[in-house]
Amino acid sequence: MPELPEVETIKEDLHELVVGSIIEGVEVLDPSLVEQPALVEEFVRRLGGVQITGARRRAKHLIVELDSGDALVFQLKIGGQLLLVPPVEEPRTATMLVLHLDGRRRLFLRDQTGFTRARLLGPEELEARLSSLGPEPFGEGFTPAYLRERLGSRRAQIKPLILDQKVLSGVGNIYADEILYDARLHPRRKANTITGPEWEVLHAAIRENLAAGVEHRGTTVRLYRDVLDRPGEHQNYLRVFEKHGQPCPRCEGEVVREKVGGRPSHFCPGCQREEDGPGGGVALESLW
CATH number at residue 202: 1.10.8.50
What confidence score (pLDDT) does residue 287 get? 53
Sorting pLDDT into bands at 50, 70 and 90, what band is 252?
Answer: confident
Q: pLDDT at residue 89 above 50?
A: yes
Catalytic residues: 2-3, 60, 263
What mean pLDDT is reported for the chain?
94
Residues 224 and 157 in one domain: yes
Q: Which of 130, 159, 180 is the last residue of a domain?
A: 130
The CATH number for 71's domain is 3.20.190.10
Looking at the fold, whether 22 and 118 belong to one and the same domain comes out as yes
Pair 104, 186 in one domain = no
* Domain co-membership, 150 together with 125: no
pLDDT of 136 reads: 98
Q: Which residues of 129-159 are buried (b: 16+ CB within 10 A; e: fewer)?
A: bbeebbbbbeeeebebebbbebbeeeeebbb
- The answer on 149 and 106 residing in a single domain is no
* Residue 276 pLDDT grade (very low, low, confident, very high; cuts 50, 70, 90): low
Q: From residue 83, how far is each of 126, 224, 227, 228 by CA, in Å?
A: 24, 11, 5, 6
pTM for the whole structure: 0.93
Q: Which residues pair with 118 in a beta bridge?
A: 34, 74
Residue 92: the pLDDT is 85
Residue 281 has pLDDT above 70, yes or no: no
95 and 162 in a single domain? The answer is: no
Residue numbers of the domain that contains 160: 144-267
Of 130, 165, 187, the residue at which a domain comes to its end is 130
Q: Structurally, how many domains does the chain consist of?
A: 2
Task: Evaluate whether 190 touches 276 at the Cβ level (below 8 Å).
Answer: yes
How much is the pLDDT for 88?
85
